[in-house]
Amino acid sequence: MTSEDIAAVSQIDAACFEEPWPKNSFAYELTTDYSICMVATTPEMEVAAAIVVWLIADEAHIATIAVHPDAQGQASALVCSRMPCSRRINAEP
């Protein structure tokens, strides 16, 4: 995830949750040392899903995950693709 993705991520989050994260929360997560912020894109490079993982001690916690309604049912691929990332820093997913 980059700052350029935040608008799309916020729209997806709002489509998925009654109480979505504020845009500035995603922006903040991009600045921390303990957050992994990732997006999944369509073949046309449009954001289809986003995940924020917090690295706390030796654990990896999913802080939020949102999948565009048109792409739901594919979230497991996004989560599974992040597992190697948590293992690289010796966190338990």
The answer to whether residue 61 is domain-embedded is yes
The answer to whether residue 9 is domain-embedded is yes
Share of the chain above pLDDT 90, in %: 40
Structurally, the chain folds into a number of domains equal to 1
> For the chain, where are the E strands, in sequence order?
35-41, 47-56, 59-67
For residue 37, what is the domain's CATH number? 3.40.630.30
How far is Cα 53 from Cα 37, in angstroms, rounded to an integer?
6
Share of the chain above pLDDT 70, in %: 78
Residue 61: per-residue pLDDT: 87
Query: Could you list the residue range(s) of the whole structural domain that residue 17 is in?
Result: 3-88
The answer to whether residue 28 is domain-embedded is yes
The answer to whether residue 93 is domain-embedded is no
pLDDT, one tens digit per residue, over 32-49 is 989 989 888 877 888 888
Sequence-distant (≥ 6) Cβ neighbours of residue 20 within 8 angstroms: 10, 13, 14, 66
